[in-house]
């Protein structure tokens, strides 16, 4: 797929770790194409595919990977590419009211995607300052069918450092994140988890308003002292420690 923000193969995380995952998936699936197998055909697999694509929040977990033949992979990739292109077109599209006049999509501000439509699946927004344990909280509760949207994870999959990355990678990661958030307007049985800092009550309320009635909010109750202690104990956060400390100390609980 060539739609905006996809990145190079290396940027998308297809390095040595991916090769190990690929071999494990092929062995698990007995080297047979899984879409063909579901249709009663035994076709040798040539590649490994993300069942839910990364731009829609899919992960590299084994349960989101499948062996696939080139023909099935090509057809699935074309479908996903069209979906990704439509997402980008929808970002700038004006909405039409019942009287036929165009309506400018609401701008919620902060880092909320412009013109975001209400979610059609349950969404838990998990907020908190840096080092408050947001990602751990979600990982302990998310089920395999759930969708987790975490900017730090996206940055890492694009080849950046989740705690200190360049502006180009960060902009690309936000585009991926925003497309995943916009995808919540499509009905789905699984729950979605959205991890954001949202340091003020106003911003948290804006996220709730933007995502609609199916959204709920969890704010981590980790104390500022505990967050700072974790920050100081993590050498990977050293470069951005001062900025993170300011956010922790100013966070509205």
Residue 60 inside a domain? The answer is yes
Q: What's the pLDDT score for residue 6?
A: 44
Residue 244 inside a domain? The answer is yes
pLDDT tens digits, one per residue of 170-209: 888 898 899 899 889 888 888 999 999 999 999 999 999 9
- Given 72, 91, 110, which residue is the final one in a domain? 91
Q: Between these two residues, 76 and 7, which has the higher pLDDT value?
A: 76
Q: Has residue 124 got a pLDDT over 90? A: yes
Q: What's the pLDDT score for residue 96?
A: 59
Highest mean pLDDT among 73-77, 83-87, 213-217: 213-217
Based on the fold, state whether residues 130 and 215 are members of the same structural domain: yes
Q: Has residue 233 got a pLDDT over 90? A: yes
State the pLDDT confidence band at 15, using cuts at 50, 70 and 90. Answer: low
Can you name the residues that pair with 68 across neighbouring β-strands?
A: 47
Based on the fold, state whether residues 47 and 149 are members of the same structural domain: no
What's the total number of domains in the chain?
A: 2
pLDDT tens digits, one per residue of 22-43: 999 999 999 999 999 999 999 9
Residue 51's Cβ-side half-sphere holds a number of Cα atoms within 13 Å equal to 15
State the pLDDT confidence band at 99, using cuts at 50, 70 and 90. Answer: low
Based on the fold, state whether residues 130 and 245 are members of the same structural domain: yes
Mean pLDDT in residue range 147-156: 92
State the pLDDT confidence band at 10, using cuts at 50, 70 and 90. Answer: very low
Q: Has residue 122 got a pLDDT over 70? A: yes
Q: What's the pLDDT score for residue 100?
A: 63
pTM: 0.64
- Distance, CA of 68 to CA of 48 (rounded, Å): 6
Based on the fold, state whether residues 81 and 145 are members of the same structural domain: no
Domain that holds residue 133: 123-250
DSSP string for residues in 155-203: HHHTT--TTS--HHHHHHHHHHHHHHHHGGGS--SS-EEEEE---SHHH
Alpha helices in 29-143 (DSSP H): 34-38, 70-91, 134-141
Q: Has residue 54 got a pLDDT over 60? A: yes
Determine whether 99 is exposed, middle or buried from the number of CB atoms within 10 Å of its CB (0-12, 13-18, 19+).
exposed
Quote the percentage of the chain above a pLDDT of 90: 56
Determine whether 135 is exposed, middle or buried from the number of CB atoms within 10 Å of its CB (0-12, 13-18, 19+).
middle
Based on the fold, state whether residues 234 and 174 are members of the same structural domain: yes
Based on the fold, state whether residues 165 and 239 are members of the same structural domain: yes
- Distance, CA of 38 to CA of 34 (rounded, Å): 6
Q: What's the pLDDT score for residue 67?
A: 96
Residue 1 inside a domain? The answer is no
Highest mean pLDDT among 50-64, 102-116, 137-151: 137-151
Q: Between these two residues, 52 and 203, which has the higher pLDDT value?
A: 203
- Distance, CA of 222 to CA of 157 (rounded, Å): 27
State the pLDDT confidence band at 2, using cuts at 50, 70 and 90. Answer: very low
How many residues are given for the chain? 253
């Amino acid at each position: 797929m060539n739609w905006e923000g996809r990145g190079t193969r290396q940027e998308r995380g297809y390095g040595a770790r991916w090769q190990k995952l690929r071999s494990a998936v092929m062995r698990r699936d007995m080297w047979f194409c899984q879409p063909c197998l579901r249709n009663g055909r035994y076709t040798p697999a040539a590649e490994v595919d993300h069942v839910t694509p990364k731009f829609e929040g899919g992960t590299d977990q084994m349960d989101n990977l499948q062996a696939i033949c080139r023909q099935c992979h090509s057809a699935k990739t074309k479908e996903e590419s069209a979906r990704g292109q439509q997402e980008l077109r929808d970002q700038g599209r004006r909405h039409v009211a019942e009287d036929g006049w165009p309506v400018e999509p609401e701008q919620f501000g902060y880092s909320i995607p412009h013109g975001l439509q209400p979610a059609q699946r349950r969404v838990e927004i998990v907020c908190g300052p840096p080092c408050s344990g947001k990602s751990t909280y979600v990982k302990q509760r998310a089920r395999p069918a759930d969708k987790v949207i975490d900017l730090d994870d996206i940055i890492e999959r694009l080849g950046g450092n989740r705690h200190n990355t360049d502006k180009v990678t960060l902009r690309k990661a936000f585009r991926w994140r925003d497309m995943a958030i916009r995808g919540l307007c499509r009905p789905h049985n699984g729950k979605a988890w959205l991890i954001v800092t949202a340091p003020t009550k106003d911003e948290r309320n804006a996220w709730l308003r933007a995502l609609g009635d199916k959204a709920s909010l969890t704010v981590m109750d980790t104390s500022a002292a505990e967050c700072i202690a974790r920050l100081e104990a993590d050498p990977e956060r050293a470069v951005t420690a001062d900025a993170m400390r300011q956010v922790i100390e100013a966070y509205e609980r």
